[in-house]
């Protein structure tokens, strides 16, 4: 005969399944109240105010005192049980040194004894438990469970639902989590509903929203979505992996959490439309900003041999004796014969005075020499001078020995003068 309510202790796993614990190295301690209320007269005479701790042995389907010790209280209002397993516990109206019949007044699972004065299971008046409870004797199904049958154990609410109330007799009492969220089996509160991978919320239990473009979230929960790194983009919603972040095209970059390929813009030194492969600035040009702007040409008088230059400092001045007549020059051009340039960074060369000539790449006017048949200071005005034929021949021979051959035009001119003197 039991003199206490049944106390059930269980541990649920991640899926809500009960984990069986036996042969614990350290026993658990439970204080269970005892009472003689509801006893018949013959039972009252046997009531000791002490009792023995017993547990429900699922293997034998009986209550047993094995693995439990009992400590009585002076008040006779409770006993302290120390047992090395987790299951259902009850106090029998006997003491440890007395022989105990654990089947006395015990009904099978799913039923309860409405008249506790019977002494054997066979004679017990066992009735079906209500549909929202289970037996041992009958207990109300706790929150997170339901019982739709007239017998048997409470059933955990399935994944993706929760149940805050006890005593539910139908699976309809298990409320579904909000869209894009889920919960573990046997959940009891809405905050057990957490957002699925690829979705996020301010707090668990609130509405979940898809991760925005340029972000992803690989696991369930209310955590924030993770941003794609700079140089990558993602154009889809609710992504669950970093693999959704795609690299920008060559020679372009993007800010973190970019949601479109058009956020990929060309590096400095490269040009092209956003979102497509960028081309390097050619020699003679540069680009010192990111984006789709065109490359800028070096100004006249300057040149650059560098490809993909990122600064106007790459444009170098043409040296003396050279010039760059157009913008975006990759090389400087030597001053032609008959021209000179003494400065740097010039776009043109200066012509020698009339009737004078200078070698290629001349850097000073003094390099302009009077042509044959003319006389004057170096770099100055050359005037025509008459000479005897023999003088002219001697001068021509000397000119050939000390300087490159004159142009055909000069030879033609000199020939004319010689013919005139004849």
Yes or no: say if 231 and 242 are a contact pair by the CB < 8 Å rule.
no
**CA atoms of 268 and 310, how far apart (whole Å):** 6
- Please, which residues bridge with residue 145 across strands? 156
Q: pLDDT (tens digit, 9 = 90+) per residue, 98-109?
A: 444 444 445 555
3-state SS string over the chain? CECCCCEECCEECCCCCEECCCCCCCCEEEEEECCCCCCCHHHHHHCCCCCEEEEEECCCCEEECCCEEEEECCCCCEEEEEECCCCEEEEECCCCCCCCCCCCCCCCCCEEECCCCCCCCCCCCEEECCCCEECCCCEECCCCEECCCCCCCCEECCCCEECCCCCCCCHHHCEECCCCEECCCCCCCHHHCEECCCEECCCCCCCCEECCCCEECCCCCCCCCEECCCCEECCCCCCCCHHHCEECCCCEECCCCECCHHHCEECCCEECCCCCCCEECCCCEECCCCCCCCCEECCCCEECCCCCCCCHHHCEECCCCEECCCCCCCCCEECCCCEECCCCCCCCCEECCCCEECCCCECCHHHCEECCCEECCCCCCCEECCCCHHHHHHHHHHHHHHCCCCCHHHHHHHHHHHHHHC
State residue 421's pLDDT score: 34
Q: Tokens 């990929």 label which residue?
A: 264
- Please, which residues bridge with residue 64 across strands? 55
> If pLDDT is split at 50, 70 and 90, which confidence band does 70 have?
confident
CA distances from 396 to 22, 354, 385, 408 (A): 125, 19, 14, 14
- Please, which residues bridge with residue 162 across strands? 175
Rg (CA), the chain: 52
Percent of the chain with pLDDT over 90: 53
Yes or no: say if 254 and 225 are a contact pair by the CB < 8 Å rule.
no
Q: pLDDT (tens digit, 9 = 90+) per residue, 234-245?
A: 999 999 999 999
Q: What is the mean pLDDT of the chain?
A: 83
**CA atoms of 335 and 342, how far apart (whole Å):** 10
Percent of the chain with pLDDT over 70: 77
> If pLDDT is split at 50, 70 and 90, which confidence band does 394 have?
low
Yes or no: say if 291 and 266 are a contact pair by the CB < 8 Å rule.
yes
Exposure letters 282-301 (e unless 16+ CB within 10 A, then b): bbbbbbbeeebeebbbbbbb
Q: pLDDT (tens digit, 9 = 90+) per residue, 193-249?
A: 999 999 999 988 899 999 999 999 999 998 999 999 999 999 999 999 999 999 999
Q: pLDDT (tens digit, 9 = 90+) per residue, 160-196?
A: 999 999 888 899 999 999 999 999 999 999 999 999 9
**At residue 327, does pLDDT exceed 90?**
yes
Q: Is 314 exposed, middle or buried (0-12, 13-18, 19+ CB in 10 A)?
A: buried
Q: What is the mean pLDDT of residues 25-40?
A: 79
Peptide bond just before 297 cis, omega within 30 deg: no
Yes or no: say if 90 and 4 are a contact pair by the CB < 8 Å rule.
yes
Q: pLDDT (tens digit, 9 = 90+) per residue, 336-380?
A: 999 999 999 999 999 999 999 999 999 999 999 999 999 999 999
pTM confidence score: 0.53
Q: Which position has the higher pLDDT, 65 or 309?
A: 309
The Cβ of residue 103 has, within 10 Å, a number of other Cβ atoms equal to 14
State residue 24's pLDDT score: 83
**CA atoms of 73 and 78, how far apart (whole Å):** 6
- Residue 383 C-alpha from the chain's centroid: 84
């Amino acid at each position: 005969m039991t003199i206490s309510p049944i106390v059930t202790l269980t541990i649920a796993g991640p899926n809500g399944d009960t984990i069986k614990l036996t042969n614990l190295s350290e026993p658990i301690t439970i204080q269970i109240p005892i009472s003689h209320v509801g006893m018949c007269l013959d039972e009252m005479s046997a009531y000791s105010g002490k009792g023995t701790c017993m547990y429900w042995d699922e293997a034998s389907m009986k209550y047993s005192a094995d693995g439990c010790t009992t400590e009585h209280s002076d008040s006779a209002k409770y006993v302290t049980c120390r047992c090395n397993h987790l299951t259902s516990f009850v106090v029998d109206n006997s003491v440890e040194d007395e022989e105990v019949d654990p089947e006395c007044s015990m009904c099978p699972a799913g039923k309860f004894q409405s008249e506790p004065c019977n002494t054997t299971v066979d004679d017990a008046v066992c009735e079906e438990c209500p549909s929202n409870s289970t037996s041992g004797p009958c207990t109300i199904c706790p929150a997170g469970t339901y019982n739709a049958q007239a017998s048997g154990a409470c059933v955990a609410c399935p994944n993706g639902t929760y149940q805050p109330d006890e005593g539910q007799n139908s699976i309809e009492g298990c409320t579904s989590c909000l869209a894009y969220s889920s919960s573990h089996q046997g959940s009891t509160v809405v905050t057990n509903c957490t957002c699925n991978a690829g979705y996020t919320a301010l707090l668990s239990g609130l509405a979940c929203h898809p991760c925005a473009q340029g972000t992803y979230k690989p696991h369930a929960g209310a955590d924030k979505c993770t941003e794609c790194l700079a140089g990558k983009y993602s154009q889809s919603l609710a992504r669950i992996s970093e693999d959704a972040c795609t690299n920008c095209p060559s020679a372009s970059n993007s800010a973190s959490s970019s949601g479109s390929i058009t956020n990929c813009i060309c590096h400095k030194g490269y040009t092209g439309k956003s979102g497509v492969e960028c081309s390097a600035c050619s020699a003679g040009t540069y680009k010192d900003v990111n984006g789709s702007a065109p490359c800028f040409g070096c100004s006249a008088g300057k040149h650059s041999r560098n490809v993909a230059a990122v600064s106007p400092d790459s444009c170098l001045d043409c040296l003396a004796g050279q010039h760059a007549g157009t913008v975006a020059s990759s090389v400087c051009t030597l001053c032609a014969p008959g021209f000179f340039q003494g400065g740097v960074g010039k776009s043109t060369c200066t012509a020698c005075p009339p009737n004078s000539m200078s070698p290629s790449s001349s850097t000073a006017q003094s390099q302009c020499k009077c042509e044959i048949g003319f006389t004057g200071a170096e770099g100055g005005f050359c005037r025509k001078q008459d000479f005897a034929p023999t003088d002219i021949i001697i001068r021509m021979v000397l000119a050939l020995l000390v300087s490159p051959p004159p142009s055909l035009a000069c030879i033609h001119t000199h020939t004319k003068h010689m013919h005139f003197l004849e």
